[in-house]
């Protein structure tokens, strides 16, 4: 009988792969090996394919955009290359069927990664924003199969001089184990906004690495996790200031309900020559039950002396006084709770600038928080 390790080992030279365990420092709060073994006891056995009659239900209302449809990992591409040190990025480089390259688009680009029956998918994207250009990428996965899905996704993004990138990731697939490796490099005077909305999944791990390798760059990295059930959501970020006179601001928030588990590990590096750097990092979380947990570790490593840097994290429950205030004015307990959580979440979508996209994300947040 085939196992997950057997299936993955077939693509590794020497026939062996070591998945991270609780003893692996970078994955010690994210039991991905155990989750894979539980979800795929007989290995990655695909089921019957489902037909796609229309993608209209996956589009964003009112958004005029270009759509890239990837079905079961199939699209026109070129061989994968340059994996990082992360084991899942290396697996992705060997298992992906090609590299999807995006260089320019006048319209926002919506990438629909659709699974119709596979149990293991691996996609690799190369995105380049040319000097002076502007690009918006929205990315989401749809699993049409009722079976669990293991997915790795690797993205290498270059943002040229005086260019702008808005990168939106919507993760709302309930029956998925996913590892995303996103690497962004910025050149002089570039501007980057990223936003990740994590709503569902068995286990989702996002590795976001940003190299600010230019002067006068501005960067905003925001994330919102609204977790329930037994979902595990893990955000690992690295912001590396390599040149002087740049600004970065990182804000990740989490709302953990049920027995869900959140993880945030954020690192900021300021290199010796990166003087006049402003870098800020904040992680804020609300636990709604005694069974929900969060493990958070913000970090700063600074080798320059003329900088402004700060980091911090908070974890708590809803404000009892605010709840009492709303209920005393005739608002029911569930609605009062939803209103406070909505106000808490709203700050994270501040830099989503396209109105239909922002309205859609807002509707997803409200649907989750106001669900009875």
DSSP notation for 139-179: EEEEE-SSS-EEEEEEEEEEE-TT-EEEEEEEEE-TTEEEE
Domain coordinates in residue numbering, the chain: 4-319
Distance of CA 358 to the CA centre of its chain: 17
DSSP class of 337: H
Can you tell me the distance from the alpha carbon of 202 to that of 260, in angstroms, rounded to the nearest whole number?
Answer: 10
Are 265 and 24 in contact by the 8 Å Cβ rule? The answer is: no
Cut 0.95: pTM above it: no
Can you tell me the distance from the alpha carbon of 369 to that of 372, in angstroms, rounded to the nearest whole number?
Answer: 9
Closest-CA residue to 136 (of 74, 200, 60): 60
Q: pLDDT, tens digit, for every residue of 92-149?
A: 655 555 567 787 778 999 999 999 988 888 888 989 999 999 999 999 999 998 889 9
Neighbouring C-beta atoms of residue 221, cutoff 10 Å: 24
DSSP class of 11: T
**Arithmetic mean of pLDDT over the chain:** 89
Helix (H) or strand (E) holding 326: helix 320-327
Asked whether the predicted pLDDT for residue 19 surpasses 50, the reply is yes
Can you tell me the distance from the alpha carbon of 156 to that of 185, in angstroms, rounded to the nearest whole number?
Answer: 8
**Higher pLDDT pick, 49 / 30:** 30
Model pLDDT, residue 118: 86
**Higher pLDDT pick, 73 / 9:** 73
Closest-CA residue to 216 (of 184, 249, 247): 247
Residue 321, φ and ψ in degrees, nearest 5: -65, -40
Asked whether the predicted pLDDT for residue 78 surpasses 70, the reply is no
């Amino acid at each position: 009988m085939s196992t997950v390790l057997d299936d993955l080992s077939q693509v590794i030279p020497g026939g062996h792969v070591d998945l991270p365990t609780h003893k692996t420092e970078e994955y010690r709060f994210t039991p991905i090996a155990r989750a894979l073994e539980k979800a795929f006891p007989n290995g990655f056995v695909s089921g019957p394919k489902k037909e796609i009659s229309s993608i209209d239900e996956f589009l964003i209302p009112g958004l005029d955009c270009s759509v890239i449809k990837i079905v079961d990992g199939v699209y026109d591409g070129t061989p994968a290359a340059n994996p990082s040190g992360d084991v899942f990025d290396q697996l992705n480089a060997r298992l992906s069927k090609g590299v999807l390259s995006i260089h320019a688009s006048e319209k926002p680009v919506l990438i629909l990664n659709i699974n119709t029956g596979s149990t293991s998918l691996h996609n690799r994207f190369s995105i380049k924003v040319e000097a002076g250009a502007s690009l918006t990428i929205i990315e989401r996965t749809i699993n049409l199969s009722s079976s669990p899905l293991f997915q790795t996704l690797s993205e290498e993004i270059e943002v040229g001089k005086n260019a702008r990138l808005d990168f939106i990731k919507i993760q709302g697939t309930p029956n998925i184990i996913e590892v995303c490796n996103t690497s962004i490099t910025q050149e002089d005077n570039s501007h980057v906004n990223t936003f990740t909305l994590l709503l569902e999944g068995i286990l989702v791990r996002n590795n976001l690495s940003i190299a600010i390798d230019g002067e006068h760059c501005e960067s905003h990295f925001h994330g919102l996790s609204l977790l329930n059930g037994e979902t595990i959501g893990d955000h690992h970020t690295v912001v590396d200031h390599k040149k002087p006179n740049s600004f970065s601001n990182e804000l990740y928030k989490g709302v953990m309900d049920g027995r869900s588990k959140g993880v945030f590990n954020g690192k900021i590096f300021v290199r010796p020559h990166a003087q006049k750097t402003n870098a800020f990092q904040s992680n804020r979380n609300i636990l709604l039950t005694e069974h929900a947990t969060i493990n958070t570790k913000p970090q700063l490593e600074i080798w320059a002396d003329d900088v402004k840097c700060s980091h911090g994290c908070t974890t708590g429950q809803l404000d009892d006084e605010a709840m009492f205030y709303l209920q005393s004015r005739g608002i029911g307990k569930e609605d009062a709770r939803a209103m406070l959580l909505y106000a808490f979440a709203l700050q994270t979508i501040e830099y989503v600038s396209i109105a239909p996209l922002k309205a859609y994300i807002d509707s997803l947040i409200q649907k989750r928080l106001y669900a009875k």
